[in-house]
Structure 1
């Protein structure tokens, strides 16, 4: 059985009520729930939360909330892997036979079904423990610079500061959207950021970290553009079909 687990604790500090804050007209967690359900990839879609309000929103969107996340897994420092492990263990206590679990973040409104599909295919084909979304940096990280308290600049990697961009290997970062993993990988709390994982490359215009109000505003702009593009494609298809 394949299970989507959406971690969504209450008490967000930088953006109050982040996981259920209205995003382009509806609670942001709703996008992840609906995408998981409509993808047809999962037998169960479960939200792990410690918050009654989040639970109510999740249930209304069609997800299951079969347990309450305990306080020791609900603070600012708890690792996501521990939350997913707890969810897998709780579901198995209730008789759920899990083969693969997918951690799907509550704040991933730009995620597309095709990316989830590619992730699952790569997990199977590679034999890896994890397959998760990554995206490329827009500028070579090897030419990064730091700035001290006095404003003085130093290269982070002096040996590469004058290297040509085309001579440097492309670097990627976690896109913060989804993490397919085998049951064993989550129960054994394997390290995701290791050769045990494969990266599913997602275009940069479909990725936006949401930690600040500025991030939130940018994500809404990207979503609006994405939605407009989708409508334009649909209109073009309809016109082509009418001509045919």
Structure 2
């Protein structure tokens, strides 16, 4: 059995009520719930929240909220692994083999990628399979500003042409498939026992600031308009 868990706590400092802020007609969490349901992969879609209002909205759009997350698991210092362990233990009677953590603010998540992730973890027995995206620009050419002076992080690549540098990827922040065992044992997500579903760059968008939110709106508007024209 597979279950999805969508962490959605109330206290968002940079974007007020981020997880239920309206995004093109619906609370943004709706889009994650919608794609999770459309994938038909999950016996249960569970929202882990510390807030009754978020719980009611989640239930309205088809999720289950069998518990309210305790405050000790609902602050900025709590990692996603602790949230997932609490959630899985709270529904241990379901005994899921695979658990997918889905970001509440992932309006560009697709059923295709969720399905691909499940097939990959099931076939290859990885601990985790998660969404990833290629860096737009070679990280080997990155630098820091130290006392207003430039310091290259990888100075040995200074004279290399960008097209000759190895490609690198980062977490796209949409979903994380994991075995229940991996979650409960706190196995590292970024390890040789994990793999990725690589998504297109324009579909990757962290939403942590108002600027991020505006970027997501612009992207979604363009994509939505293009869909309407097809």
1:128 aligned partner: 126
Aligned mate of 2:225, from 207, 228, 231: 228
1:12 aligns with 2:12: yes
2:37 aligned partner: 37
1:202 aligns with 2:202: no
Contact kept, 8 Å, 1:144 with 1:161, in 2: the verdict is no
1:15-63 per-residue CA deviation (whole Å, 9 max, x = no partner) reads 1100000112210001111111121111100000001111111011110
Residue 229 of structure 1 aligns to a residue whose secondary structure is helix
Contact kept, 8 Å, 1:130 with 1:198, in 2: the verdict is yes
Residue 210 of structure 1 aligns to a residue whose secondary structure is coil
Shift of 1:162: 2.0
1:188 aligned partner: 185
Rg larger for: 1
2:146 aligned partner: 148
Shift of 1:230: 2.2
Contact kept, 8 Å, 1:47 with 1:65, in 2: the verdict is yes
1:97 aligns with 2:95: yes
1:62 aligned partner: 62
1:163 aligned partner: 160
Aligned mate of 1:107, from 91, 105, 110: 105
- Structure-1 separation of matches of 2:124 and 2:223: 30
Normalising by structure 2, report the TM-score.
0.97
Normalising by structure 1, report the TM-score.
0.92
1:2 aligns with 2:2: yes
Residue 11 of structure 1 aligns to a residue whose secondary structure is coil
Residue 196 of structure 2 aligns to a residue whose secondary structure is strand
Shift of 1:13: 0.3
- Structure-2 separation of matches of 1:90 and 1:119: 24
Structure 2 portions without partners, runs of 5+: none
Using the TM superposition, name which of 162-171 and 202-211 deviates more. 162-171
